[in-house]
Amino acid sequence: MVPQVRSWDAQTGDQIKKSAEHESFVNSICPIRRGPPLFASASDDATVKVWDQRSRRSVVTFRDRFQITCVAFADAGDQVYSGGLDNCVKVREARESRRERRRCPLSSASTSLQKA
């Protein structure tokens, strides 16, 4: 089985995008709430990818050392939050793969993220 990220048209039920860039299970996907048609995915391959529906490939990839179990966009859409088996929540700029802030350690691995 090839790990894939797929997008569907909510009105028609038609598949509109399929991509197979992840190398292991995809654990979480989060669409941006407003702005350009972006979504993020988190995977057991220790990457978070930011996707643009208008592009054929991911536009940014964040690499980590451990599996990523959850991902979410900030409300403004400028930052991506991710959590994983390293018990940290990372905050990254959505369009820059190098800048990162961490909140560590958490008591256990994150399985979901929620805005307060």
Q: Decide if 114 is inside a domain.
A: no
Which residues have CB under 8 Å from 91's CB, separation 6+?
Answer: 74, 79, 80, 81, 100, 101, 102, 103
Burial readout 6-27 (b: 16 or more C-beta within 10 A, e: otherwise): ebeeeeeeeeebebebbeeebb
Residue 104 and residue 88: Cα distance in Å, rounded? 5
> In percent, how much of the chain has pLDDT > 70?
81
Range of the domain at 64: 25-103
Q: For residue 22, which of 53, 74, 58, 75 has the smallest C-alpha distance?
A: 58
Tens of each residue's pLDDT in the chain, 116 residues: 678 888 888 899 999 888 889 999 999 999 999 889 999 999 999 999 999 989 989 999 999 999 999 999 998 889 999 999 988 889 998 877 666 666 666 555 665 565 54
pTM above 0.85, yes or no: no
pLDDT in tens, 71-88: 999 988 899 999 999 888
What's the number of domains the chain is made of?
A: 1
**3 domain-assigned:** no
